[in-house]
Structure 1
Amino acid sequence: MRTIVVGTRQSALALTQTGQVIDHLREICRQNGIEAEFELKKIVTKGDRILDVTLSKVGGKGLFVKEIEQALLDGEVDLAVHSMKDMPFELPEGLVVGAVPLREDPRDCLIMREGRTIDDLPQGAKVGTSSLRRASQLQHYRPDLKIEPIRGNIDSRLRKLETEGFDAILLAAAGLHRIGWSDRISSYLPPELCLPAVGQGALCIECRSDNDIVLNLLSKYLHEPTAVAVAAERSFLGRLNGGCQVPIGAYGELTGDKNDGRPEVKLTGMVGSPDGQQMLKETRTGTDPERLGRELAEALIAKGAAELLAAAREE
């Protein structure tokens, strides 16, 4: 029987979602008569080690994946489970995205000490997030709010809500859903108010490009609608050369319409200034996700996105 070693971060959320992936892969093996067992390998990443500095100050995207990708390249693990929003646009040579499973809820959410919605927050309320994307959009909607950085895993951030005087914190809904803490959510922020990060709510199953056995297994785990929507978002990110250092958001969804048998994607993207005073947003539709992402990025570049991003990187 073949042993497939699965690499993951060691946070509670990472272990939970990796366990869910392994459960799905075991079921796929059972249904297809594939004899395999799975072994978990926990890997500490740079993003896990540095908790006292905001992500935008220490390198942004790639902080939670580089050590795991090295383990893949070195043959220590056979596949890796990442949150798609942590993935840089460019993958190292020899590695590929083997599967993108069904997406969880892509929205951001508020966890509040009192009240339920963003409009319930008092004037000048203290809100915790280390995401420039979230901070920019929140300040654009409520310039009075005092945004302060907050790092750590989900449970430590929830503790800081109580211990460090925050009125609310912002988190990705998907993580709370996966870990079973949906009841902590006060309200969801609609994409119209706060566009999610590229790939938010989706998982990326990464493997070596020459590992045919694992690639064959992962092909049975692919959720095509999620993969198409995320491909459009990542193409948008790639054209803008974006990461955690700059306020970029995007959300792709399939409309149900088809052209030549291909699904149509509705893609909305934003680029903002860190203080939220400037906000560029556009929506495009198309059936070629990579082309759609590039065209949407070009539309925002024509509006001044490149200058906004350059200014954000210098801050």
Structure 2
Amino acid sequence: MKTMYVTHPSSLKHEMGCFHPDSPERIYAISDQMLASGLMSFVKQGYSFKALKKDILRVHSPIYLDYLYKNIPTDGEYYYIDNDTIMNSYTFESALYAAGSGMFAIDAIFSNSVKNAFCAIRPPGHHANHDNAMGSCFFNNVAIAAKYAFDKYKVSRLAIVDFDAHHGNGTEEIFYDDDRVLMCSFFQHPFYPYLGKHSLKKNNMCNLPVNAYAKSSRIRDIVNNHWVPAIHKHKPEVILISAGFDAHKEDDMSQICLTEYDYAWITNIIVELSEQYANGRIVSILEGGYNLSSLSRSVVLHIRALANI
């Protein structure tokens, strides 16, 4: 099998209240659609391991890690970092397994067990920066996977593609001065987290703001005329994806107007580039996507593209 589907039951234990859009139901919806579509039979299944302290500290500060650990609430209680980023008693452990999922997938692709992997985990990560949580993100999962690839597999260059509707400010901050990493994204602006419109000033940042109600043609133009040339120039040895699906036109968390077929198209482009430069190695990690129907449909087409099915 070419593609691995990575998850862990701990993703279902982290919750931030019944009002919060980042709910465990997101993972249930994805797995249900994977089963209903028959796709689960065509992917290899894997279960994340827990990231260790040393893994988290490749990206985050010791003071920040200690802050999260000391504020784990008792069962039935919540600890508010901000109105969007809330811990219950399981959040810290769930975040460790979420961070470990990308590392687990990195091991799988570099051992040639599979070509690529999708990590259906939560909490997400791309807003978390070096020393604080925000935007429902505690540890920056894709950054931790990147640093793991550098350290364990001596990767020289990698690319991070972020197609979430919200700017991956944490990922940008962590790798802003690291020329080994090329980051490519689009994001609605002005919009949460209200950062990133100047990121084109760095050669390793190809992060382009788009207006509300941007259509497929605008996003495809960005991919074809900005991402693709940048990736050709960078020649990454592995491609990581911050896979947020909240730019779908059915998702109320943004005003970008994509469909699941746009995500399939973007994924096909990334797969082609990975075959050219990275021996097909891709690790995709779930970020946003809050309308359960559009999320699950989009993930299925994303994984179909990864698996070439």
Q: Shorter-chain TM-score category? A: under 0.3
Higher strand share: 1
| Larger Rg, first or second structure (1 or 2) | 1
TM-score, normalised to structure 2, is: 0.27
TM-score, normalised to structure 1, is: 0.26
